[in-house]
Structure 1
Amino acid sequence: MTVAGVPSRLRWKIELSPHIIAFVYPRFALRSLAPAAAALIVLGGAPVTGAAEDHTGTHGTPGAAGARDPYFPTLGNGGYDVRHYALTIDYGPESHVLTGTAEITARAGQDLSAFNLDLHGLTVRSAAVDGAPAGVTRAGDELTLRPARDVRRGDTFRAVVRYGGTPGTLTDSDDTREGWLRTADGAIALGQPKGSMTWFPGNHHPGDKATYDISVTVPEGLSAVSNGELRSQRPTADGRRTTFAWHSAQPMATYLATVGIGAYEITRSRPGAAGVPVHTAVDKTVAPRVGELVNRVPELTEWSVRKFGPYPFSSTGVIVEREGDADYALETQSRSVFTEDSFDAATLVHELAHQWYGDSVTPRTWRDVWLSEGFATYAEWLYLEEFEDTPVRASFEDAFDSEDNWAFPPADQPEAGQLLGDPVYERGAMTLQKVREAVGDATFFSVLRGWARTHRHGNASTHDFTAYVERESGKDLGALWDVWLYGDGRPERP
């Protein structure tokens, strides 16, 4: 993620709202109750559906209501692994009403008598598991689905949730918004770290990645753009709306899924030297002013391929919205989102680098997010050196001199509200520069490419990275990690 409207060095300060944190932890206490007691507590009324079939004599237990992330313990869920989301959405920009169906294919990691999904705000109309109606209860952002029959460990099952309403947003402490953001002519969905649950139910933790089909129906004259490849574009039977069907064949974390709805100028180009097709969607009022940089997307993708290795997805591109429609840029998978004021060359490189570091190799937990933002910031430094005559070492010195970068260690943020604070970005990048100085250029760039290759389309932790670097370099770098990743306070100038 990058924030517009401030100098590059200061662009990264995004904090989560204290009031968001305040509602997370009380709900965690609620979900720590025994499952039978928790099932009786439903916020906002009675269960959505009637009781499911009697489970007397069965052996399943409920999946955990939360993935126990260090900073968001109630985000995500346990007991299953999502393999595929098929989302069918109808949205009216004038009414702001969304109607959706989520078909979730998952594999059970235990015998399941019930399991949870995350969903914020929208109303659930019905749910089914493997074709049979499922009982549904709700406590805040948690849906609990109780299948008619237990799902056995190792079995693949399909849950279908029909839902709708007016999707909303979550607001961070610096007034940054995430979720389903209304724009001048449509909407844009931005999900870091938890906004994706404002527009579809799912397992909203970065550790559970899945493939996607996203089908969006919008009024005639508007387009719907999403991740991956456009499979079809068809008018509805009445000719008043158009359905756009998108497919993402590579696994994706929920926070990286997006939908952009609006009057876009859309371009599709054939693969360039790197073999990557480019698909861009730019708000028509913005397009005349950003066209030159949009045309550089293939060039900068190819530059990134030379630095980081083969591009990990089937296409690349950008979505560019008007200023004010959002407050930042975000690395939504295969097609990053920008506002006009955040769309500059260095930020474009930052979000392109995320396709390797963050999107393909996704942090295992939110504590590991420096592996995403530190790498993307270092990519900016490489770009500035090659294209704008600013040596990487000069960027390092500038970051070192900033007091903001020493507020906390990048690999051990003190609280969720500082998840995306300055040290995660620039001290994370400084750590990479210190690794480069310790192991030499040849080994360092081999590590950058090898790390992306080794964990392609997976999840990785800080421990995974430090162990990988030491294994590839043959060096014990414990002292480096202690100072740059975990140390409190600024060391002596190196």
Structure 2
Amino acid sequence: MRPTRRPPARRRTAVLATVPVAVAALLGATAPAAPCGPGAPGAGDPYFPLSGNGGYDVRHYDLTLRYESASRRLDGTAVLTARATRRLTRFDLDLTGLKVTRLTVDGAAARFTRDGQELVVTPSRAPARGRLFRVAVTYHGTPKPVTDPDGSADGWIPTDDGAFVAGEPQGAMTWFPADGHPRDKASYDFTITVPRGLTAVANGVPLGRRTAHGHTTFRWRETRPMAAYLATATIGDFQVERYTTRDGVRVYNAVDPREARAAAPVLKKLPSVLEWESRLFGPYPFRAAGSIVDHAPDAGYALETQTRPLYDSAPDLATLVHESAHQWFGDSVSLTAWKDIWLNEGFATYAEWLYSEQHGGPSAQRTFDSLYARPASDALWAYPPGDPGGPGHLFGTPVYARGAMALHALRRAVGDPEFFRVLRAWTAGHRDGHGTTAQFARLAEQKSGKQLNGLFRTWLFTPGKPDSTANPPLSPRPSARVDP
């Protein structure tokens, strides 16, 4: 994610006081605050206690949607195939603002109630632990975005010709029932019907389109695991461009005509950007790529929707590099807990620095130095990026810029060969899965043979501006363990 206009920033955050916390807890605590029992209404993330659910793991979503742009009515049927992680006499789905008219579990009608954003399901026959089961939910209504703790909107955001659908961090529940925490990733099929003349764009590869009775139906499929917040079903009047890169990646660009002229020279660089990032970070992790460039002035940000980043207006090159880097850092390798958001945003921001350095712009060192020159009172030092302190700080300057500074400090400490070896090992070892800050720190020590405790403590978990002499000398060590 990246702001596309300044001001205002993507996420407008208040500067709250921060207090020191034990580095042992920050580096070592990877489990949720509380275990998830059968039917738990949340996945245990302290930043978003009701995000996600307990007792099952979704394997696949099959979403059939019909959207009438004039009335802004959405009709949907979502079929979720999931595996029970324990016997489920009751379970929850995340869904808000839409009316459910029918719900079945394995074809049998199930009782359901609503409790805020929770759709509480009581099946007539409880799925046994380890068993695959299927939930079908039919629903309709006028979807609206949710307002996040920092005041920004995400989810189904209406536009003058359709919808800008961007779900980070909790907006998926505004348009389909989901296990909404990024710890539960699944494959997706989309069937989206819209008025003739509009285009519906989702993730993965297009499977075809059909027009009849004044409407066009678009089908999409994403076979790689995807967090719910990365799903999109953006609708609008789009000019479409399709081609295949020399690496065999299928590109699909959808651009609002009002943004086409400004977007064209930047989108033209997408194949070369992906090739460059593949050399640095490892092979591109998906079969498909592309861009959705909408005209959505009320959004104010871009999002790394999987395989096809979403832009609220024509992006600049830095934004394209940022959102493309997220395909490795955030999409393929996803968060385990929202407090580790720097693993997404710090890495994508550092990709911008590297691109500048290698394409005639300021070096990463120069960018680091200019940031470090900011006074201790600057918002850059308001809170440590390794645990921002709450959901209102997820998308603030420290997460992006100081997170990137942490990576540059690591690069200086271990040298370029080891640094890029760490990045490639990270994306390869956690592909299609999840990662934590503790795991990344351990990997950096393993690959470099250096003790990096002080570096990560200073740049990720110490409140305030780091002292330029705070890092102790680095020395080889046989153990890869990260101590508190």
User: 2:245 maps to which residue?
Assistant: 271
Change (3 A) 1:454 1:385: same
Q: Does 1:260 align with 2:260?
A: no
Aligned twin of 2:216: 242
SS for the counterpart of 1:485 is helix
Extract structure 1 runs of 4+ deviating beyond 3 A.
Answer: 10-16, 172-175
Q: Alignment partner of 2:289: what SS?
A: coil
Query: Among 184, 193, 198, which residue is 1:208 paired with?
Result: 184
Query: Per the alignment, in what secondary structure is the counterpart of residue 461 of structure 2?
Result: coil
Distance in 2 separating the partners of 1:124 and 1:312: 36
Q: 2: distance between equivalents of 1:416 and 1:323?
A: 24
Matched, 1:289 2:265: no
**Deviation, structure 1 residue 289:** 2.5
What secondary structure sits across from 1:465 in the alignment? helix
Distance 2:11 2:98 in 1: 30
Structure-2 change in CA distance of 1:384 and 1:269 (3 Å): same
Q: Out of 291, 310, 313, which is 1:340 matched to?
A: 313
**Aligned match of 1:359:** 331
Cα displacement string for residues 135-164 of structure 1 (whole angstroms, at most 9, x for unaligned residues): 001111101111111110000000000001
Q: What secondary structure is seen at the aligned counterpart in 2 of 1:255?
A: helix
Which whole-Å CA distance do the structure 1 matches of 2:460 and 2:262 have between them?
40
Asked if the contact 2:204–2:287 (Cα under 8 Å) also holds between the matched residues in 1, the reply is yes
Q: What is the match of residue 275 of structure 2?
A: 302
Q: Does 1:160 align with 2:136?
A: yes
Alignment of 1:68-147 (within 5 A): 68-147=44-123
Equivalent residue letter for 2:186 = A
Alpha carbons 1:82, 1:209 under 8 Å: kept: yes
Separation (CA, whole Å) in 1 of partners of 2:91 and 2:169: 22
Q: Is the 8 A contact 2:150 2:393 kept in 1?
A: no
**CA distance in structure 2 between the aligned counterparts of 1:441 and 1:386, rounded to whole angstroms:** 13
| Mapped contact 1:184–1:325 kept (Cα < 8 A) | no
AA matched with 1:246: W
What CA distance in whole angstroms lies between the structure 2 residues aligned with 1:138 and 1:398?
Answer: 51
Q: Secondary structure at the match of 2:346?
A: helix
Residue in structure 2 matched with residue 251 of structure 1 by the alignment: 225
The question of whether the paired residues in 1 share the 8 Å contact of 2:255 and 2:293 is answered with yes
Q: Give the structure-1-normalised TM-score.
A: 0.87
Q: Aligned with 2:90: secondary structure?
A: strand
> What TM-score comes out, normalization by structure 2 length?
0.89
Tell me the distance in 1 between the aligned counterparts of 2:467 and 2:385: 18
| 1:192–1:256 CA contact under 8 A, matched in 2 | yes
Give the distance between the partners of 1:406 and 1:125, measured in 2 at CA.
49
Aligned to 2:289: 316
User: What amino acid is the match of 1:2?
Assistant: R
Contact kept, 8 Å, 2:150 with 2:391, in 1: the verdict is no
Deviation, structure 1 residue 176: 2.5
Q: 1:316 offset after TM fit, Å?
A: 0.8
Distance 1:428 1:410 in 2: 6
Give the letter aligned to residue 351 of structure 1.
E
Taking every aligned residue pair, what percent have the same amino acid on both sides?
A: 48
Secondary structure of 1:350's aligned partner:
helix
Aligned-pair distance for 1:175?
4.6
Structure 2 partner of 1:448: 423
Structure 1 CA distance for aligned equivalents of residues 48 and 182 of structure 2: 11
| Equivalent-residue separation in structure 2 for 1:223 and 1:234 (angstroms) | 11
The Cα shift of 1:325 comes to 4.6
Task: Kindly provide the amino acid, as one letter, of the partner of residue 376 in structure 1.
Answer: A
Distance 1:491 1:225 in 2: 44
Shift of 1:368: 1.0
Structure 2: tracts of 5 or more residues without a match: 17-36, 470-484
In structure 1, the partner of 2:22 is none
Matched, 1:482 2:454: no
- Answer yes or no: is 1:460 the counterpart of 2:432: no
